[in-house]
């Protein structure tokens, strides 16, 4: 758990440093994701990494975080109690934004994905 959390936080921290120093509009956790992906690639190829970095613990920490992701949105969601006034005053428009644009977004994205994957069918396993 400790080594897993340390690696994940380190990736995020490096992401923060990257975003701060380059002034690029990239979110630090997303940079951290890319870095951790790179770490996994390196880990499974090179045997010389210290044992603690090769342990299953890192995978287990990531699994736990991903599995429990929904819980992590609760505190921000409860923040609604703070903004009831402005939301109530614009309830129809806000609900439209929340429901209509989200449904639209899912539909457009899924249709585009399906359309383009018909134009460019995925190469079969044997071509790898």
Q: Which residues ranging from 29 to 58 are in contact with another protein (CB under 8 A)?
A: 29-30, 32-37, 39-41
Q: How far is the CB of 48 from another protein (least distance, A)?
A: 20
Residues 6 or more apart in contact with residue 27 via CB below 8 angstroms: 15, 19
Work out which of 21, 88, 120, 126 binds another protein, going by CB under 8 A. 120
Q: How far is the CB of 51 from another protein (least distance, A)?
A: 19
The answer to the question of residue 99 lying near another protein (CB under 8 A) is yes
How far apart CA 26 and CA 16 sit, in angstroms, is: 9
Of residues 52 and 111, the one with the C-beta less far from another protein? 111
Work out which of 1, 20, 49, 63 binds another protein, going by CB under 8 A. 63
Q: Is the dihedral of CA 73, 79, 84, 86 positive or negative?
A: negative
Of residues 52 and 113, the one with the C-beta less far from another protein? 113
Q: Is the dihedral of CA 41, 45, 50, 51 positive or negative?
A: positive
Helix pair 57-67, 2-22: axis angle to 10 deg: 70
């Amino acid at each position: 758990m400790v080594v897993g959390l340390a690696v994940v936080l380190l990736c995020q921290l490096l992401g923060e440093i990257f975003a701060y120093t380059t002034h690029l509009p990239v979110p630090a956790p997303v940079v951290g994701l890319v870095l951790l992906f790179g770490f996994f690639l390196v880990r499974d190829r090179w045997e010389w990494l210290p044992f603690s970095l090769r342990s299953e613990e890192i995978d287990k920490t990531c699994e736990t975080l991903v599995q429990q992701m929904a819980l992590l949105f609760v505190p921000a969601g409860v923040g609604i109690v703070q903004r009831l006034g402005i939301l109530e005053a614009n309830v129809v428009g806000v609900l439209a934004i929340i429901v209509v644009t989200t449904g639209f977004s899912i539909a457009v994205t899924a249709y585009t994905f399906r359309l383009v994957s018909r134009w460019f069918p995925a190469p079969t396993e044997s071509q790898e």
